[in-house]
Chains A and B, each alone.
Chain A
Amino acid sequence: MSVVNRIRILAITFILLMLNQVAVSAERAPRIQTWKTDNGAKVMYVYAPQLPMVDVRIVFDAGSARDGRQAGLALLTNNMLSKGAGKWNTNALAARFDSVGAEFSTFAMRDMAGLSLRSLNDQKLLNKAIVTLQAILTRPRFDNKELARIRRETLIALKAQLQSPEAIADKMFYRALYGQHPYASPPLGTKGSIKSISRKDVQAFYRRYYVAGNALIAIVGDVDLRRAKQLANKLIGKLPKGEHAPALAPVRALKKAQVLKKTYPSTQTHILVGQPGLRRGDPDYFALYVGNHILGGSGFGSRIMKEIRVKRGLAYSSYSYFIPMRGLGPFQMGLQTSNDQRDEALALLDKTLRNFIKEGPTKEEMQQAIKNITGGFPLRIDSNKDIIGYIAMIGFYDLPLDYLETFNANIEAVTAAKVQDAFRRRIHPDRLVTVLVGGDAPQKHGK
């Protein structure tokens, strides 16, 4: 799979992970079983016999937060896993998956990096897919020629970002939010860093982070407990125990407001506004989650969408969200609008946030939000794909096993006062990063 395609898939995975904030009526939450393999990898498993297939996801604490001085190392290592392993080269590995109709992909974000497999549960087909996946996990070759090719593809993907004002803004945003923190590191790397990454660097990264003690295996599908245990052992039993990645330094709060502008020859300006926001397992998690739902997290019903799109037609998409991560992930508001409307839209975004913090949500907004979040719970776990996303997240971030069962109760316990209190303490309108990427606004266009 080429890097250009991969990036697209990463983006999709990323969005799916952002959605992994759930609510369910307790009785329908899937039953999660968990254990550790002999060499110390954590396993999360849900038996789903309805369809004759199985999903497996293996996640390592090996995202770009672990890049160190070499931006892009985590993603490059992750990408290289399937470019030759054991006795098979890249072509042979791909052919083995394709020949049994299996779907295989790799992913690397800031916290997580890993591999996903979907296969039929037919013993023969599944076995071929698992043997292949095991080789990729435990015996990657990191062949020099393939590394050179992937490096060149990554450089093209970096160039592709330069022709997307959205991608440019996103990079500027993370850099400004995180400064010296590892979350500032662009996952794809930089031109200079990619050229400097050697085979030795990739091997060392792999040996340090792709170990059982740093791994989480999630399994959902039509395999019983005994087979699931065999499967987990087979996949990862040969990895050394190793150690979990060390804790990341805490994310520092922003000290002052910062406005960053970049001129780009586009018809619209892309606007991002935000600050470090929320982590997984955060005591304010549910208050901020419900609050954001009202502020800009629920499409047409949210305040930002009403102000920007419904009342004034200034943008197609406008939103706010938290991306909860191991450390404080971003709180982000965003939109894109014609260059000449840039200042108006930005002022509205700012005003909407300030009003929300000042006044807090109304009683009606609270009722609406809680009804929507809790009433929609069954939709969020209605597929194996959704369920594996949740259990991988719960396992990776060490959230309580009853996270899904208690989610609705946690949402219902949030009050308007709690939302307002959490936003007042956590979100600071005078210390936000604002990124603007777009064209100059010369003349008024004739709308």
Chain B
Amino acid sequence: MQRCITMLRAMMLGLLIFTGISSVALASEGGAHSKSAVHEFTLKNGLKLLVKEDHRAPVVVSQIWYKVGSSYEHDGITGISHVLEHMMFKGTKKHGPGEFSKIIAENGGRENAFTGRDYTAYFQQLEKSRLPISFELEADRMRNLTLLPKQFKKELAVVMEERQMRTEDKPDALVDEKFNAAAWISSPYHHPVIGWINDLNNLTVRDLRPWYARWYAPNNATLVVVGDVKADKVLKLAQKYFAAIPPSRLRPVKPRIEAPQKGPRRITVRVPAKLPYLLMGYKVPVLKTAKKEWEPYALEVLAGILSGGDSARFPRELVRKQQIAVSVNAGYNLYARLPGLFTLDATPAAGHSVAEVEKAILAQLQRLKDRRVTAQELARIKAQVVAGKVYERDSLFYQAMQLGTLETVGLGWQRMDEYASKVRAITAEQVQQVAKKYLRENSLTVAVLEPQPLNSAASASSHSH
């Protein structure tokens, strides 16, 4: 169980959510027929409340989402949002360090938090009658953190360990980090959610205070509640605990639009490893930034055609027929604040080089530009989307995640209901159009992992932090 808590934090970290998201997962978002019956309220201080009633089991999930994450950070303080997330468990004037977790545990609850590029979110899962406990504690730590230097020092050490575990000692994760830094120059998606090690080393509790004061405000937050509750009663509870918190004057974050890419970029990462790895990405719009609203949905379908299910083109053609790779995936996330990447990643089969795999992937992309996808392929994706809309209702947490994400990246939760119909409306011609328009060499970044011997002393741990 404790494993689960730490694992969950691991899985939920924005790095994974954003760059590791698979087209399969995306294909199961959103839906066609059923309206999601979300109740939306805004308190006078600007706090937005979303409630979705689901009476299958006597439980509730409560999540509070703040509009801040690594893409709000500038150079020199990267990782600060995530460190602050850790410090949110380290005590307020009213509840000392660790007390938050203790109270939730006493009430049979589970709790954790996650930080991504575009958000920081905190959650509790509880038996339904205990919702007030969650609200009381979250309202308290929205403004009253003590941020003690002694606690900060220890927690920073924990984050360093986290970075080592998550990135430094994982070859593919290192490639991913270097890849994003190469693909993005002026966009804040350039730096990792967990932050550069040198920035972490020089972070102080004095940096944290203004960051906390600036972003942790009711008018910069969305409270999402899904479960066996009544919307009007949740509203009353929210008013009771959150209404007294004054709003902040929020300064908008600078746009930091990526400078146009003028040709392909290639990087090589040499670290001790056994397997080569290939990661490619094309610059693409997301729903928030697309001039033509259908294009992100067409990119979704495109990702599904390539790797959405075991009968998709990549597993069928590259893994089973040509047997050139053991895994190949296409990835795209349409729900982000800033433009993103359409990614392709692969591990070559034995006896095949990364160059061969890249060539084979490019041939598949060319095929998408030359010929329209078949009606059968489109029908498959539509069937998956319809089914996915039903399956996702088995998880309260996932439903809350969707609402929180959409609201926090600035799209509005209503987009959730549109997803399936928008995907179903995509034609073979539109898929071909986005392939031609966006999968172009001039906006391509390629990262290659060249494995170095594991026993070479020279390559071993030159990390000093």
Interface string of B379-405 (1 = CB under 8 A from A): 110011111101101111000000000
Contact status B320-A91, CB under 8 Å: yes
**A316 and B6 contact, CB distance less than 8 A:** yes
Among B152-197, those with CB < 8 Å from A are 153-162, 164-165, 168-171
CB distance from A203 to the nearest CB of B (A): 21
Binds A, one of B97-105, B203-211, B289-297: B97-105
Complex interface residues of chain B between 316 and 330 (CB less than 8 A to chain A):
316, 319-320, 323, 326-327
Interface flags, A297-338, vs B, CB<8A=1, else 0? 111111001000111111111011100000000000000111
The contact of A375 among B127, B164, B387, by CB within 8 Å, is B127
The answer to whether B164 and A268 have CB atoms under 8 Å apart is yes
- Closest partner residue, chain B, to A302 (CB atom): B2
**A259 sits at the interface (CB 8 A):** no
- B463 close to chain A: CB less than 8 A: yes
A373 to B108, CA, bound (A): 6
Q: B1–A15 contact, CB under 8 A? A: no
The closest CB in chain A to the CB of B381 belongs to A98
| Interface bits A46-78 vs B (CB < 8 Å: 1, else 0) | 000011110000000000000000000000000
Q: Is A378 an interface residue (CB 8 A)?
A: yes
A155: interface (CB < 8 Å): yes
Q: Mark A179-192, 1 if CB is under 8 A from B, else 0.
A: 00000000000000
- Asked if B442 CB lies within 8 Å of chain A CBs, one says no
B107 proximity list for chain A (CB < 8 A): 371, 375
A385 with B275, Cβ < 8 A, contacts A149-B320, A371-B108 known? no
For B394, the chain A residues whose CB sits under 8 A away are: 51, 53, 383-385
Q: Across the interface, do B274 and A165 meet the contact criterion of CB distance under 8 Å?
A: no
State A119–B463 Cα separation when bound (angstroms). Answer: 48
Interface residues of B in 201-243 (CB under 8 A from A): 201
Classify chain A's interface size: 35 or more
A312 to B157, CA, bound (A): 8
Taking CB atoms, residues of chain A closer than 8 Å to B161 are 268, 313-316, 336-338
Distance A320 CA – B3 CA, assembled complex (angstroms) = 8
Among B55-63, B73-81, B252-260, B361-369, which stretch is in contact with chain A? Answer: B55-63
Take A91-B311, A268-B169, A383-B394 as given contacts and tell me if A5 and B380 are in contact as well, using a CB distance cutoff of 8 Å.
no
Contact of A94 among B159, B309, B327, B465 (CB under 8 A): B309
Q: What separation, in Å, do the CA atoms of A383 and B464 have in the docked complex?
A: 46
Nearest residue, chain A, Cβ from B155: A313
A23: nearest chain-B partner, CB-CB: B108
Is A144 an interface residue, CB under 8 A from the partner?
Answer: no
A100 touches B350 (CB 8 A): no
B84 on interface, CB distance cutoff 8 Å: no
Which of A156-164, A205-213, A234-242, A396-404 lies at the binding interface?
A156-164
Listed stretches B114-122, B262-270, B454-462; interface member: B454-462
A160→B311 contact, CB < 8 A:
no
Contacts of B162 in A (CB 8 A): 316
Shortest Cβ distance from A12 into chain B, in angstroms? Answer: 9
Determine whether the beta carbon of B154 is less than 8 Å from that of A100.
no
Nearest CB in chain A: distance from B196 CB, A = 15
CA distance A293 to B4 in the complex (A): 13
Query: Which residues of A414-447 have CB atoms within 8 Å of chain B's CB atoms?
Result: 439-440, 443, 445-447
Contact with A1, one of B4, B56, B310, B465 (Cβ below 8 angstroms):
B310
Chain B residue numbers with a CB within 8 Å of A5 are 327
Among B430-465, those with CB < 8 Å from A are 451, 454-456, 459-461, 463-465
Q: Which residues of A contact B65 (CB under 8 A)?
A: none
Decide yes or no whether A174 CB sits under 8 A from chain B. no
Task: Say yes or no: is B126 at the interface (Cβ < 8 Å to chain A).
Answer: yes
Enumerate 10 A-B pairs (CB-CB under 8 Å) in ascending A order: A97-B310, A98-B309, A125-B387, A264-B454, A266-B164, A299-B5, A301-B102, A310-B97, A312-B157, A382-B59
Q: 6 nearest interchain CB pairs?
A: A375-B108, A101-B387, A313-B157, A265-B460, A376-B108, A94-B310
Measured CB to CB, the residues of A under 8 A from B are 1-5, 15, 18-19, 21, 28, 50-53, 90-91, 94-95, 97-104, 118-120, 125, 149, 152-153, 155-157, 159-160, 162-165, 264-268, 293, 296-302, 305, 309-317, 319-321, 336-339, 368, 371-379, 381-385, 439-440, 443, 445-447
